[in-house]
Chain A
Amino acid sequence: MAPSPTPTTTSPSARRAPLAAARRPARAAGAALLPLVLLASGCGYLAGETGGGGADPGSAACEPYAQWQDIGGSVEMYGPIRDDEAERLRQAWQEFSDCTGIAIDYEGSGEFEAQIQVKVDGGNAPDIAIFPQPGLLARFVESGDALPLPDGAADLAREGWTEDWLSYVEHDGELYATPQASNVKSLVWYSPTVFEENGYEVPRTWDAMIDLSDTMAGDGLKPWCAGIESGEATGWPATDWLENAVLREHGPDVYDQWVEHEIPFDDPKIVESLERVDGILRNPDYVNGGHGGVKSIATTSQQDAGLPVNEGECGMYMMGSFYAANWPEDTDISEGGDIYAFNLPAIDEEVGTPIVGGGEFAAAFTDRPEVVAVQEYLATVGFADSRASLGRWFSAHRDADLELLENPIDRLSAELLRDPDVVFRWDGGDNMPAAVGSGTFWRGMTDWINGKGTEETLTYIEDSW
C-alpha cells in the first residue's frame, strides 16, 4: 500500500540497511561487468553488419553502369521528397545500386530547409542533398560547405541542360549541382468539359482572360479559386502570381533586376503588377470559387484550393505543373478531358509568355569516389528517364524521352522548358535572401490577401531587405 510513513514509523528497510549493504558491492560489480563482456563480443551484431546482395554486374542490364563498377560503398542522401515520391526515387536508382554495389541511403524530411542548416552546422552534412531552392544552396556555396561538381558530372550537366537552367547553380564559373525534377509555375488549370458546355475559350491574352472571368461571373460561376495556406510556407502561391505578372508585364530584364534587388521591391512597376493581380485575387466577384470570400484564400490549403475546378464550382486555378498529382485518382487529365491547363496568357505582346518555374538540384558535401559516381549518375539522361517512367516527375534534360511521361501536363511542361525560344525564369522568391524570399515576401503577401494595402505591403517587404 501507499508508502505514507510518519516520523514515528521510520522505514524498516532503513534499519536493515547496514547489513545488506555489505553484501552488495560484489553483486553490483558482477552486474556491471556482465554487460561489458556481452558488449565486447556482441558489438558487431549490434552494429548491424550485414552483407549486401545485388545483380550480376556482367549482365546486359548493367551495361550502362559499367564505368562505376568496383567502387562500392554507400552514399547518404537527404532531401525534401517524402513518402510515395521518395519511394519512386529509390526505385529509380535501384538498378544503378544493384549493378554497381553503391548503396544510396535516401532520407526525406518535410523540415528539409531548416534541418539541412542544422546538419551542416553540426558537422553531420549528408553526402548529397537535394535542394528545392537555388538560393538555399547558394548559402552553402558561400560558406564553402557545398563542393563544386566533379568534372565528369559537370560535363554531363552542361550537355544536358540549357544555360538558363544551369545559371542558377553556377557560382564563379563553377557548377555546384545537377538539375533534378523540374516544374512550370505559369499554368492555369481549367476544366475542358465545363469550357465546352458553356462555350468558353482558352484565352490568348490577359485581357481576354479578364473578359472570360467577367463572363463566368455573369453566368454565376466564380471564375477563380485560390489558396495560399501551406504550413510554415504559407503565402508562396500568392508570390507566384506576382512573379508571373511582373515577368509578363515588364519582361525578363526588369524581373531580374527586381529579384537581384537592383530596383526596389516596391518600385512603381512592381506596384503596377501587384495591382493587376489585385484585380483577380482580391476581386470579390472573381474569388474564391468553392471556398468562400476573398479572405478564405489565406486559410485554404494550396493543395485543396483547385479541387472545385473539377466540381464545376470554380472556373480557373493558377498553380504549378505539380498540381497534377492533387486531382482525384480517376480524373481524366487531357486536352479534351476533365482537367487540363493552359499557359498563363501574355500581358505584353512583345514579352510574350515567358515561363516561371522551379525544380530541384542535387549538390554534394563530400567527394568520396562513390559520391562522385552517384553525382555522375544523377546527371545522366538515363536516371532522368528511369525516374520519369515511374510517373509524376519530369526533367528539363534536353534528351529526356517525353514518351515516358504518362501525364500530358508533364509533357506540355517539359516541351515548354526545353523549347529554346521560350524564356525561362526561376521562381524569383527562391533566389532572394531567404529572410525575404521565404520570409517577409510570403508573410507580406499573406497579409495582403488578408486586407493590407498594395503599396504598404511592397514597402514592408522592401524594408526587410
Chain B
Amino acid sequence: MGFDLLSELPKLLWLVIGVAGFLAVFGVLLLAVDRGPRTRREWWQAACFLGPAALLLLVGLVYPVVRTTVLSFMDGPGQAWVGLRNYAWMFTRPEILVVLRNTLLWVLVAPALATATGLVYAVLVDRARYESLAKSLLFMPMAISFVGASIIWKFVYAHRPAGSDQIGLLNQVWTLLGGEPRLWLLDQPLNTLLLIVILIWIQAGFAMVILSAAIKAIPTDIIEAARIDGVSPLQLFWRVTLPMIWPTVAVVLITISVQTLKVFDIVRTVTGGQFSTSVIANEMYNQAFRYGELGQGSALAVFLFVLVVPLVLIQIRSTRRSREAQ
C-alpha cells in the first residue's frame, strides 16, 4: 500500500479551512470591537478580547478543577462521600510521603539548575562567532519529546555486569575512573537526582532561548557605560546584566517550576515510579486511572493545585513591582 496523496487531501483541506475560518472570525472580531456602542465601551471590548480564551479555559480547565476538588472528597468510583479520608490517606501512607518528598526535591533543584544553565550559556555564547550553532546545540533536546528524551537517558544510565562491555555512557565513564558498574536507578535519592538531570537537559534550551533574547535587548549604552567604568565581565554580569533581565529570569523560573510540578512522562518512562522515584503527577495518574481510585487521585491533584500557591504569590509580587516601575 503506497502513500496516497489524494486520501490525505481532506485533512489538509480541513486544516486550511480551519485556520482560514479562525483568522476570518479573528479579523471580524477585531474590527467589530471598535464599532460598538460608546457606553461602557472598555468593559465590553475587554469581554470581546477575553471571551474566546475565557470560554475555552472555563470548559477545559476551570470546570475540571472544580470537578476534581469535589471528587477528592469521594470514594474510588466517585459514588459516596468520604470526607477527608483521601487526604488522611495521602499524608499517612509511607510511599505517598516519599512521593511528596520527591516532588519537593524536583521543584527545588530542576528549575534553578535549568535556568542557571540556560542563563550562563546564553551569556557565554552571546555574540560569539558560532552563536546560532551553539544555541541550536542546547536547544536540540527541546525538539525531542519527553518520552524520547527519557529513552535516551535510560540508555545513558544502562548497566552491564562488571567484566563485560558497558553500553551506558555513565557506567563507562564510572568504570574508566575505576568504579564498579553501578545500577544507577536503584539507590534513592540519587535516582531522583538522575531523573531531574533529564528535565534540566530538556528545559535548559527553553531558558536559554528566552534569556538570550532578554540579554540582547539590554541597551548597549548601559553596557558601554559600565565598561568605561572599568567593570570586569563577572561584575558586569552580576551588576548590570542580571538585574536588567531579572523579570525575564523570574518568568522562566516560574514557567519551569510549573512544568516541574507536573512532570510525569520522565518518571514513568525511566523507572515507572519504582525505587521510590514516583512524583505527584505520576502517582495521581496511577491512582485515578490505573487503580480506579479516583478519589485518592483527585486528592493528589488538589495538593498539586495547592503547591502552585507560592508561585502565584511570587507572580503577584513581581506584577506589582513592574507596575510600580512603570
- Chain A interface residues (CB < 8 Å from chain B): 21, 24-25, 28-29, 31-32, 34-36, 38-39, 42, 45-46, 48, 113-115, 117-118, 139, 142-143, 229-235, 290-293, 295-296, 298-299, 433-435, 438-440, 443, 446-447, 450, 460, 464
Contacts and interface: CB of A to CB of B under 8 A. Distances in A.
B290 A32 contact: no
B161 A290 contact: yes
Contacts of B185: 299
B104 to A, nearest CB: 20
Among A234, A299, A435, A450, the one with the most B-chain Cβ atoms within 10 Å of its Cβ is: A299
B273 A46 contact: no
Given A39-B17, A450-B186, A435 B291 contact: yes
A30 to B, nearest CB: 9
Please report whether the interface of chain A is mostly helix, strand, loop or mixed according to DSSP: helix
Given A25-B31, A114-B290, 15 more contacts: A24-B31, A31-B27, A32-B25, A46-B10, A114-B289, A139-B292, A231-B268, A292-B160, A292-B181, A295-B186, A296-B161, A434-B290, A434-B291, A443-B95, A460-B94
A209 B22 CA distance: 71
Given A232-B272, A292-B161, A298 B24 contact: no
B13 A46 contact: yes
16 contacts: A29-B28, A35-B20, A36-B21, A46-B10, A113-B289, A117-B292, A232-B272, A234-B272, A292-B162, A292-B181, A292-B183, A293-B161, A299-B183, A438-B291, A443-B274, A464-B93
Contacts, number: 110
A45 B13 CA distance: 10
Contacts of B77: 142-143
A38 to B, nearest CB: 6
Given A35-B20, A292-B183, A298-B186, A231 B269 contact: yes
A230 B274 CA distance: 11
Contacts of A232: 268, 272-273, 286, 290
Contacts of A443: 95, 273-274
B151 to A, nearest CB: 11
B159 A296 contact: yes
B287 interface: yes
B290 A299 contact: no
B159 A439 contact: no
Contacts of A31: 20, 23-24, 27
Among B25, B162, B186, B292, the one with the most A-chain Cβ atoms within 10 Å of its Cβ is: B292
Nearest to A139: B292
A28 B28 contact: yes
A45 B9 CA distance: 10
Given A35-B21, A439-B290, A42 B13 contact: yes
A337 to B, nearest CB: 26
Interface in B170-193: 181, 183, 185-186
A231 B291 contact: no
Nearest to A30: B24
Interface in B1-53: 10, 13-14, 17, 20-21, 23-25, 27-28, 31, 34
A439 B186 contact: no
B273 to A, nearest CB: 7
Interface in B70-105: 77, 93-95
B285 interface: yes
A28 B24 contact: yes
A244 B60 CA distance: 47
A234 B285 CA distance: 16
B275 interface: yes
A438 B292 CA distance: 11
Nearest to B10: A46
Contacts of A230: 272
A183 B165 CA distance: 35
A298 B274 contact: yes
Nearest to A116: B289
A118 B269 CA distance: 20
B293 A35 contact: no
A142 B75 CA distance: 15
A171 to B, nearest CB: 16
A32 B292 contact: no
Contacts of B14: 46
Nearest to B283: A439
Contacts of B161: 290-293, 296
Given A117-B292, A292-B183, A296-B183, A446 B24 contact: no
A139 B24 CA distance: 48
A115 B268 CA distance: 15
Contacts of A434: 290-292
Nearest to A34: B20
A153 to B, nearest CB: 26
Among B27, B272, B293, the one with the most A-chain Cβ atoms within 10 Å of its Cβ is: B272
Contacts of B290: 113-114, 117, 232, 434, 438-439
Interface string B258-273: 0000000000110111
Contacts of B269: 231
Contacts of B160: 292
Nearest to A118: B289
Contacts of A231: 268-269, 272
A446 B275 contact: yes
Contacts of B291: 433-435, 438-439
A75 B269 CA distance: 32
Given A296-B161, A435-B291, A32 B28 contact: yes
Contacts of A25: 28, 31
A32 B285 CA distance: 42
Contacts of A42: 13
A435 B272 contact: no
Contacts of B274: 234-235, 298, 443, 446
Interface in B277-326: 285-287, 289-293
Interface in B132-169: 159-162
Nearest to B9: A45
B292 A435 contact: yes
A292 B159 contact: yes
Contacts of B292: 117, 139, 433-435
